[in-house]
């Protein structure tokens, strides 16, 4: 499916789906539990359904309930949790791959993990090394490759201690923390260069919910987990997804729009909520109502200052420096906002973005470059030399050169959504054609109809 995106004005209320990160954690922990668990407001995305499809291989089951009820029931395997009955195909879900493979390593016998073409390009060498330190056997099926298929023979052996870099991904660290639930002694993890740390806190909160004792040092370099043995089923409500909030948020800021995003999670557990502060530094008009759990976003002529002009002029030396190590998935939405922001935005500490569904650093440079954006990149940074469509006096800015064109999604959901949102902010009959836009279903099912309901000018072809 291709999507054409044209100039739009957005208005009204929008609610984003539940968090993918929370949903997958809830499903896996429910599969370990003894008895029924009820997961409310789950994200019915492709990645979450891949997780649900894997659970029966381990002795658990999932009932999705009636459409529209928004509650999944998981019958946990408990003591009957067993080796996967078949090869585990994680689809496009890196989370499922990195979470479930350490859990499988707690079982005696062999497990095999693979996935789609994108997954088969993502590294698993760090998982292999970590599991070997814990006494398991782990291999990649192709000796010359560090990618899936991944083959594991458990169980893990005492002492449950390992040292790992931590900067490649936080996901397998979370997987190891979950695996500790099934062990008969404390697991201790030393991280030499921890990144994506809010996700480790998220995992800690989930483990504590089911009774585990988790300790994480202030610098995130030492983690210890004491498991619970078998625990009972639970009820949980999945909060809305801040990674999904970023797209209507940025779309409204770049257009003459006023929208309210409902059911926003202000718990602080999701690190991606930091995008609000980053955009406010650019001058964004974003109003929080924590009591009502809403964000009201005003852009362009709807902004309270009347122009909605984004700029780095108030930053030291006129440059905005943003460290995204804690919220790397925000890179796509933030790069688009920075392209409409007057001044230079330095997006830093983002090496992990090269190991997502795509090399997002290079993909964004290439595809935004097709639309006139001026972007420099390095191993772990991106510099966006942006220009606002408006001068400080409100007149058109002659240095603003963004235009329409045809761009590729590379089957990356966040790339597709960010490029589609960019097209909404172009004027003068310009439009953006996003190829392969159906990949949005990975994290935001029905993204285009939901956005169109508040005025987004999207056309499917």
Token pair recorded at residue 379: 């191993």
Distance CA 3, CA 435 (A): 7
**Residue carrying the six token digits 């997006």:** 347
DSSP labels, 282-350: TT-EEEEETTTTEEEEE-GGGSTTSS---BSTTSGGGEEEEE-TT-GGGHHHHHHHHHTSBEEEEEES-
- Residues pairing with 40 in the sheet: 71, 237
Token pair recorded at residue 282: 């650019």
The count of C-alpha atoms lying within 13 angstroms of the C-alpha of 409, restricted to the half-sphere facing its C-beta, is 25
Residues 6+ apart with CB under 8 A from 426: 6, 7, 402, 403, 404, 432
Token pair recorded at residue 278: 């980053």
Nearest CA to 425 out of 272, 306, 309, 315 is that of 309
Q: Give the three-state DSSP class for 186.
A: coil
Token pair recorded at residue 127: 């998982």
Q: At 40, which helix (H) or strand (E)?
A: strand 36-40
Nearest CA to 158 out of 106, 80, 102 is that of 106
**Residue carrying the six token digits 């109809």:** 449
Q: Which of 329, 359, 374, 393 is catalytic?
A: 329
Q: Give the three-state DSSP class for 338.
A: helix
Distance CA 187, CA 176 (A): 9
SS (H, E, C) 401-447: CCCCEEEECCCCHHHHHHHHHHHHCCCCCCEEEEECHHHHHHCCCCH
Residues 6+ apart with CB under 8 A from 222: 188, 189, 190, 191, 215, 216
Residue 171 and residue 136 in contact, taking contact as beta carbons nearer than 8 Å: no
Residue 275 and residue 295 in contact, taking contact as beta carbons nearer than 8 Å: no
Phi, psi of 398 (to 5 degrees): -65, -15
Known catalytic membership, residue 256: no
Q: At 98, which helix (H) or strand (E)?
A: helix 94-104
Phi, psi of 246 (to 5 degrees): -55, -30
Residues with active-site annotation: 329
């Amino acid at each position: 499916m291709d999507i054409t995106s044209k100039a739009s004005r957005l208005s009204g209320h929008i609610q984003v789906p539940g968090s993918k990160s929370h949903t997958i954690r809830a499903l896996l922990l429910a599969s370990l539990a003894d008895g029924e668990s009820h997961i409310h407001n789950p994200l019915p995305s492709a990645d979450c359904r891949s997780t649900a499809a894997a659970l029966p291989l381990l002795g658990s089951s999932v009932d999705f309930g009636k459409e529209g009820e928004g509650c999944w029931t998981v019958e946990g395997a408990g003591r009957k949790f067993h080796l996967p009955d078949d090869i585990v195909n994680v689809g496009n879900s890196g989370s499922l791959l990195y979470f479930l493979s350490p859990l499988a390593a707690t079982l005696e016998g062999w497990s095999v993990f693979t996935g789609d073409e994108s997954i088969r390009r993502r590294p698993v060498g760090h998982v292999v090394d970590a599991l070997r330190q814990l006494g398991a056997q782990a291999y990649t099926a192709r000796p010359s490759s560090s990618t899936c298929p991944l083959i594991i023979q458990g169980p893990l052996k005492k002492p449950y201690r390992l040292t790992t870099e931590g900067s490649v991904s936080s996901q397998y660290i979370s997987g190891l923390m979950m695996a500790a639930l099934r062990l008969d002694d404390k697991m201790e993890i030393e991280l030499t260069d921890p990144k994506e740390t809010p996700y480790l806190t998220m995992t800690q909160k989930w483990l504590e919910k089911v009774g585990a004792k988790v300790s994480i040092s202030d610098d995130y370099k030492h983690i210890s987990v004491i498991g619970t043995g078998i625990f009972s089923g639970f009820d949980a409500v999945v909060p809305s997804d801040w990674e999904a909030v970023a797209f209507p948020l940025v779309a409204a800021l770049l257009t003459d729009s006023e929208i309210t995003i409902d059911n926003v999670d202000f718990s602080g557990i999701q690190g991606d909520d930091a995008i609000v502060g980053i955009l406010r530094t650019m001058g964004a008009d974003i109003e929080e109502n924590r009591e009502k759990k809403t964000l009201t976003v005003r852009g362009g002529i709807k902004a309270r200052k009347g122009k909605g002009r984004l700029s780095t002029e108030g930053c030291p030396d006129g440059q905005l420096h943003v460290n995204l190590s804690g919220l790397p998935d925000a890179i796509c939405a933030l790069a688009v906002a920075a392209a409409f922001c007057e001044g230079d935005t330095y997006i830093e500490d983002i090496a992990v973005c090269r190991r997502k569904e795509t090399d997002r650093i290079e993909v964004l440079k290439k595809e935004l470059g097709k639309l006139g954006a001026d972007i420099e990149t390095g191993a772990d940074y991106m510099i966006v030399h942006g220009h606002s469509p408006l001068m400080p006096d409100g007149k058109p800015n002659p240095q603003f050169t963004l235009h329409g064109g045809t761009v590729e999604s590379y089957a990356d959901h966040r790339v597709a959504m960010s490029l589609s949102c960019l097209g909404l902010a172009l004027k003068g009959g310009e439009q953006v054609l996003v190829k392969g836009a159906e990949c949005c279903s990975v994290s935001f099912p029905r993204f285009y109809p939901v956005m169109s309901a508040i005025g987004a000018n999207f056309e499917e072809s």
